[in-house]
């Protein structure tokens, strides 16, 4: 999707503490996100304050200034600050940078600061943690408390570890500044990533000290995958460090400049689009709704439940998707339809194009539409809009036709008024004038779909006048008058038939439109279900591979008991993946039956073709 984006000149606060110490979302920041229809890559940074986090975020934004760097022991970042910029590599994406209030700020209580980290983690697609220290535990002990502030399911037990967290938590980047160690283990050179994995190895002891050592490492291993590490030399000397915003790359250590570039290149090229469960790609607008949902739960004193948040978002987004689809349809019809259309087919063709686009907008912006409730609502909405447009088309056609009749038949009306036809031979003259005017009217373009009906009604009102003229014409014998009367009846019957045929064509087209509406919605629904199924399988596979890797690592490190305990999780993931892969025809048939049955209430012309559509869908999968 290309969509609409924004480019901000500087960061704004997205989430802050109010006067009562509770989190709140800043409305102006939400307004910015609501303008972004593009998918987003969201990079969030957390960690100890005064560790250079904001500097790297400015580099990602392509600017020297923006996020406040600070040169004192005070944290310059309060709350969560947001900077939206065009993604430098993915042209159809927006890069959203979130700079989070640093841990350890002397001016904030632990409870105030701690609320920002889980919120930030849930909003981003890649999170990086900044540190001076070459060991991860202490600065990142906040990860041990994430599950106290976040749960996946409403019935989840406190402290329960679950692979479900991997579906929601971002990828993880650990950045270490002022790194002076040699990257090697047992004399063997290693990469920064290998250094991180080595630092996350667990101890085999059972003492409190061992447990305290293992806990943050276990959390990082269990909740974040994939993981990367970047190490940075000291950027500059002490005096220059206080003026980082004023320095150019030439003023910094060359090694640091190269390391910062590698970090930015990694984010630009490897950071994924922000997604929710089952691979739903997040737009800026959805990100704003997500922030509101999480903060609302925290403000109410609840622990944010990720599954419940997704359900709440589904209601917001699905309703919004209907309105966006409706607005697109209305605008498209207004832009492309010139009233009255010459034929119903002409109107129908524009309707088909705009309806297809409207359904696509809904499909691309909706998710978790259980029982296709919202898609059925969209079908009803579009049908109602189309009926209004058809009704307007009828009225415009009638107005145009009446105007043309008034103009074309004006000479005939004048002769009727001055009695010109009430003379011997007047009836034949009247019939000739009537035929000429009728022929001229039928040769006129731009009459629309009511042309014959309006003509029929007009000439029907003239029937009594024709009869009076016929009766007054003394030049005709009685037999000729009877013959002329019969001819007038035949012509009236012909006009009636032409008007009926005209309306039958319209009605047949409308029935075809209803059938096409049903099939278009079903086809796009099948494509959506197919895509959702692929995403679900890919998600199951990603989480499964992460757990298998963790299990293998535990075996290698001698933690066989932990590895065996993980097997139940792995078996459940394999089962869920197998179920997704083995969906049978009844799954699709149920969905299509639901759509067909409900749609028949407001699309009486449809003929559901469930069986053939299911076969078509399954043939794509296998």
- Look at residue 491 in the predicted model and tell me its pLDDT: 94
Who has greater pLDDT, 64 or 210? Answer: 210
In a domain, 20, yes or no: yes
SS3 category, 229: strand
Does pLDDT of 440 surpass 90? yes
Percentage of the chain lying above the pLDDT 90 cut: 40
Q: Rank 48-62, 112-126, 331-345, 557-571 by mean pLDDT and report only the highest.
A: 331-345
CA distance 438 to 145: 85
Give 513's pLDDT tier (boundaries 50, 70, 90): very high
SS3 category, 12: strand
The answer to whether 355 touches 330, Cβ cutoff 8 Å, is no
Give Cα 202 to chain centroid, integer Å.
Answer: 42
CA distances from 109 to 19, 102, 106, 113, 132 (A): 14, 12, 8, 6, 22
The answer to whether 88 touches 62, Cβ cutoff 8 Å, is yes
- Look at residue 139 in the predicted model and tell me its pLDDT: 44
CA distance 594 to 598: 6
φ, ψ of residue 503 to 5 degrees: the values are: -70, -35
Strand 126-131 relative to strand 39-47, pairing: parallel
pLDDT tens-digit series, residues 100-144:
765 444 444 444 444 556 677 778 877 767 664 555 544 445 566
pLDDT tens-digit series, residues 366-393:
888 888 899 999 999 999 999 999 999 9
199-209: burial string, b at 16+ Cβ within 10 Å, e else: bbebeeeeeee
Residue 606 CB contacts under 8 Å (≥ 6 apart), including other chains: 514, 515, 517, 518, 596, 599, 600
- Look at residue 214 in the predicted model and tell me its pLDDT: 84
pTM of the complete model: 0.81
Mean pLDDT of 219-247: 79
- Look at residue 217 in the predicted model and tell me its pLDDT: 84
Q: What is the sign of the dihedral through the CA atoms of 427, 428, 433 and 434?
A: positive
Average pLDDT, the chain: 83
- Look at residue 453 in the predicted model and tell me its pLDDT: 96
In a domain, 372, yes or no: no
Of the given ranges (56-70, 95-109, 357-371, 553-567), which has the lowest mean pLDDT?
A: 95-109
> Would you list the DSSP string of 164-187?
THHHHSPEEEEEESS--S-SEETT
- Joined tokens for residue 215: 């806990």
CA R_g for the chain: 36
Does pLDDT of 539 surpass 60? yes
Contacts of 193-197 with C-beta under 8 Å, sequence gap 24+, read 193/227, 193/228, 193/229, 195/229, 195/231, 196/136, 196/227, 196/228, 196/229, 197/227, 197/553
- Look at residue 133 in the predicted model and tell me its pLDDT: 56
pLDDT tens-digit series, residues 69-82:
544 333 444 688 89
In a domain, 587, yes or no: yes
> Would you list the DSSP string of 39-81?
EEEEEEEEEBSSSSHHHHHHHHHT-SSSS---SSSS-S--SEE
In a domain, 228, yes or no: yes
Give Cα 529 to chain centroid, integer Å.
Answer: 15
SS3 category, 203: coil
Residue 68 belongs to domain with CATH number: 3.40.50.300
CA distances from 358 to 36, 214, 332, 335, 363 (A): 19, 52, 10, 15, 9
Residue 436 region, left (φ>0) first, then alpha (ψ -120 to 50), else beta? alpha
Who has greater pLDDT, 597 or 328? Answer: 328
- Look at residue 76 in the predicted model and tell me its pLDDT: 45
In a domain, 378, yes or no: no
Of the given ranges (25-34, 286-295, 482-491, 580-589), which has the lowest mean pLDDT?
A: 580-589
Of the given ranges (53-67, 154-168, 480-494), which has the lowest mean pLDDT?
A: 154-168
Q: What is the sign of the dihedral through the CA atoms of 144, 150, 155 and 161?
A: negative
- Look at residue 616 in the predicted model and tell me its pLDDT: 52
The answer to whether 81 touches 14, Cβ cutoff 8 Å, is yes
Who has greater pLDDT, 134 or 562? Answer: 562
Does pLDDT of 332 surpass 70? yes
Mean pLDDT of 269-284: 86
CA distance 603 to 378: 12
Q: Which secondary-structure segment (H or E) carries 126? A: strand 126-131
Residue reference for tokens 């480019």:
7
Q: Which secondary-structure segment (H or E) carries 227? A: strand 227-231
Instruction: Please choose, from the candidates 316, 393, 322, 307, the residue with its C-alpha nearest in 3D space to the C-alpha of residue 361.
Output: 322
- Look at residue 311 in the predicted model and tell me its pLDDT: 84
* Residue 68, domain extent: 12-148+168-304
The answer to whether 96 touches 246, Cβ cutoff 8 Å, is no
Q: What is the sign of the dihedral through the CA atoms of 155, 158, 162 and 166?
A: positive
SS3 category, 281: strand
Mean pLDDT of 428-438: 96
- Out of 281, 304, 327, pick the residue that ends a domain: 304
- Joined tokens for residue 189: 């050179």
- Out of 304, 324, 358, pick the residue that ends a domain: 304
- Look at residue 250 in the predicted model and tell me its pLDDT: 86
Residue 236 CB contacts under 8 Å (≥ 6 apart), including other chains: 244, 247, 251, 252, 253, 256
Strand 126-131 relative to strand 23-25, pairing: unpaired
Residue 262 CB contacts under 8 Å (≥ 6 apart), including other chains: 230
- Half-sphere exposure (CA, 13 Å, Cβ side) for 253? 15
SS3 category, 86: strand
In a domain, 467, yes or no: no
Give 517's pLDDT tier (boundaries 50, 70, 90): very high
Number of domains within the chain? 2
Who has greater pLDDT, 599 or 416? Answer: 416
CA distance 532 to 587: 13
The answer to whether 149 touches 303, Cβ cutoff 8 Å, is yes
In a domain, 506, yes or no: no
In a domain, 36, yes or no: yes
- Out of 304, 319, 347, pick the residue that ends a domain: 304
CA distance 9 to 170: 26
CA distance 297 to 273: 25
């Amino acid at each position: 999707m290309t969509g609409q984006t924004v480019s901000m000149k500087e960061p704004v606060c997205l989430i802050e503490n109010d006067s009562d110490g509770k989190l709140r979302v800043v409305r102006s920041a939400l307004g910015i996100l609501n303008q972004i229809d593009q998918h987003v890559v969201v990079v969030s940074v957390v960690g100890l304050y005064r560790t250079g986090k904001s500097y790297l975020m400015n580099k990602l934004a392509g600017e020297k200034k923006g996020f406040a760097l600070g040169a004192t022991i005070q944290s310059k970042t309060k709350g969560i600050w947001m900077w939206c910029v065009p993604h430098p590599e993915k042209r159809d994406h927006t890069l959203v940078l979130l700079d989070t209030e640093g841990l350890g700020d002397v001016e904030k209580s632990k409870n105030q600061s701690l609320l920002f980290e889980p919120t930030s983690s849930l909003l981003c697609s890649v999170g990086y943690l900044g540190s001076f220290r070459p060991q991860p535990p202490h600065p990142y002990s906040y990860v041990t408390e994430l599950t106290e502030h976040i749960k996946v399911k409403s019935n989840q037990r406190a402290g329960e570890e679950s692979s479900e967290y991997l579906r929601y938590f971002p990828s993880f980047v650990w950045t270490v500044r002022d790194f002076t160690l040699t990257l090697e283990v047992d004399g063997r050179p290693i990469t920064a990533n290998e250094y991180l994995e080595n630092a996350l190895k667990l101890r085999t002891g059972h003492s409190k000290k061992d447990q305290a050592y293992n806990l943050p490492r276990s959390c990082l291993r269990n909740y974040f995958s994939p993981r990367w590490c970047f190490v940075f030399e000291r950027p500059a000397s002490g005096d220059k460090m206080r003026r980082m915003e004023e320095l150019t790359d030439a003023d910094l250590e060359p090694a640091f400049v190269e390391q910062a570039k590698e970090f930015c290149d990694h984010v630009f090229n490897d950071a994924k689009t922000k997604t929710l469960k089952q691979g739903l790609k997040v737009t800026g607008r959805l990100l704003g709704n997500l922030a509101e949902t999480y903060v609302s739960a925290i403000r109410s004193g609840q622990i944010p439940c990720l599954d419940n948040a997704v359900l709440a978002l589904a209601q917001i987004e699905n309703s919004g998707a209907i309105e966006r689809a409706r607005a697109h349809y209305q605008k498209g019809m207004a832009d492309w339809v010139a009233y009255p259309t010459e034929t119903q087919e002409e109107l129908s063709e524009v309707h088909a194009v705009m309806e297809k686009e409207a359904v696509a907008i809904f499909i691309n912006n909706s998710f978790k539409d259980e029982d296709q409730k919202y898609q059925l609502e969209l079908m009803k909405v579009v049908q109602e809009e189309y009926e209004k447009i058809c009704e307007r088309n009828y009225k415009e056609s009638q107005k145009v036709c009446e105007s043309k009749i008034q103009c074309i038949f004006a000479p005939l009306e004048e002769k009727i008024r001055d009695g010109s036809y009430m003379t011997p031979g007047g009836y034949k003259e009247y019939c000739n004038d009537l035929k000429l005017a009728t022929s001229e009217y039928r040769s006129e373009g731009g009459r629309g779909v009511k042309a014959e009906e309006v003509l029929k009604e007009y000439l029907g009102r003239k029937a009594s006048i024709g009869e009076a003229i016929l009766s007054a014409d003394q030049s005709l014998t009685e037999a000729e008058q009877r013959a002329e009367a019969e001819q007038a009846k035949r012509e009236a019957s012909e006009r009636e038939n032409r008007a009926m045929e005209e309306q039958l064509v319209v009605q047949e087209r409308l029935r075809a439109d209803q059938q096409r509406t049903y099939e278009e919605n079903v086809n796009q629904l099948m494509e959506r279900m197919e895509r959702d199924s692929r995403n679900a399988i890919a998600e199951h596979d990603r989480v499964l591979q992460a757990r298998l890797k963790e299990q293998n690592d535990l075996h290698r490190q001698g933690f066989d008991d932990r590895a065996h305990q993980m097997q139940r999780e792995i078996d459940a993931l394999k089962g869920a993946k197998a179920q997704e892969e083995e969906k049978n025809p009844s799954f699709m048939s149920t969905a299509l039956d639901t759509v067909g049955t409900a749609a028949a209430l407001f699309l009486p012309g449809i003929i559901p073709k469930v069986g053939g559509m299911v076969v078509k869908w399954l043939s794509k999968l296998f």
